[in-house]
Amino acid sequence: MQTTLDERDGVAMSDERVEQTDHGSVRVIALARPPVNAIELELVTAVAAAVEAAAKDAACGAVVLTGAPGVFSAGIDTRVVPDYTVEDRASMLRGINRMVAALYGLPKPLVTAVSGHALGGGFVLALTGDARFAAAGEFRLGLTEVDAGIPFPAGPLEVVRAEVPAPRRLVLGSGVYAPDAAELADLLDRVVPAESLLAEAVEEARLRSEKSAYAAVKAQLREPVQARLRRIVEEDAEPLLAHWI
């Protein structure tokens, strides 16, 4: 259950799969499915709902999306999702697309604070950020769908095409890299000590939220991809519904 905020700073809101805390006007949404924040139906539903609520909340000026110390998200939960019913697989695909559309189309600054390992779908979540900060450490980041045997749903594929400069290498190579690796130089904006990650991400989000033209320029920049994401969600245009389920 989600609680209401009595104050605008440091008050946590809880959900079964996400934790939310407002730091002034910046809302931190933290993935909360231990041990590795693996992605399943309840998590994508909770994240989508939290981001959509933040978009509508006038008191929320910006969002930071993060995970737990040492792990952002290990991607699709391959222990759970393969055993879904046909109906749950369809709901999962639709939920993923809704979540990605909400994140990528958020009409406010979004900073992703990659707190540790971010693999497959977990790294796609990181790519939705306007700015992407990562914790320094022995972590691995990458798009591992080829090795995992999991094709991209339509929404994540749109984000990958838009945000990854050389998808041929990063996607088809299915490699994993340290946060400071050259292969991720165009994908991460800053690698910082783990202990200062959240504070720096919140400050970046706050500074961006103070720019009066930010939302308008973000919409101009992302509108072509956002339009395709809206179509995928609104028209149920997910090719995997025909054969993955």
pLDDT (tens digit per residue) in 79-88:
999 999 999 9
In a domain, 212, yes or no: yes
In a domain, 201, yes or no: no
In a domain, 138, yes or no: yes
pLDDT tens sequence across 180-237: 999 999 999 999 999 999 999 999 999 999 999 999 999 999 999 999 999 999 999 9
The encoded tokens of residue 124 equal: 């796609």
Domain count, the chain: 1
Q: Percentage of residues in the chain with pLDDT exceeding 90?
A: 88
Beta pairing partners, 192: 135
Spatial contact of 80 and 74, defined as CB atoms under 8 Å apart: no
Give the model's pLDDT for residue 245: 58
In a domain, 4, yes or no: no
In a domain, 3, yes or no: no
Domain that holds residue 142: 9-194+207-242
Over residues 15-35, the mean pLDDT reads 95
What DSSP string runs through the chain? Answer: --PPPSSSEEEEEE-SSEEEEEETTEEEEEE--TTTT-B-HHHHHHHHHHHHHHHH-TT--EEEEE-BTEEEE--B-TTTGGG--HHHHHHHHHHHHHHHHHHHT-SS-EEEEE-EEEETHHHHHHHT-SEEEEE-SS--EE--HHHHT-PPPHHHHHHHHHH-S-HHHHTTS---B-TT-GGGTTT-SEEE-GGGHHHHHHHHHHHHHT-TTHHHHHHHHHHHHHHHHHHHHHTT--GGGGTT-
In a domain, 144, yes or no: yes
Beta pairing partners, 117: 71
In a domain, 199, yes or no: no
In a domain, 157, yes or no: yes
Looking up residue 86, the CATH number of its domain turns out to be 3.90.226.10
Q: What is the pTM of this model?
A: 0.92
